[in-house]
Structure 1
């Protein structure tokens, strides 16, 4: 039986899916909603937030504007530098 993205078991074809739905509807089988939110380590995310704040504080407003312009150009596929 194939597995879904969170490891839940899924029927391989339409007939298997129909049987599974019927079993859930009649109470023969329980519905599998997959795993709860996986355990994550918050330390790297917190360090990234601190680093971004420090980088932003160390930058001049002109440099921030330059980075924002380049990001917008990339996002909208506009060539601002002629490169």
Structure 2
């Protein structure tokens, strides 16, 4: 705690010896440090990971093409004939 007080005194004495414009720059720097500190203190809440199915389940079955089950298309599985 005594070290913090001595830093405060040292900073205050040095600021007193600056021009008003330099004192304004010191104030801007202090405000910058405060804004950086505030950004660090507000962590973003992490979302629980979900599967691809969970993310897209609202669209499952929404396409009505009449084709049927595309995962068992026998013509697709046939190799093209070599001519």
Q: Same fold (TM over 0.5)?
A: no
Higher RCO by CA contacts (8 Å cutoff, separation 6 or greater): 1
More helix by share: 2
Q: Which has the larger radius of gyration?
A: 2
**TM-score, normalised to structure 1's length?**
0.30
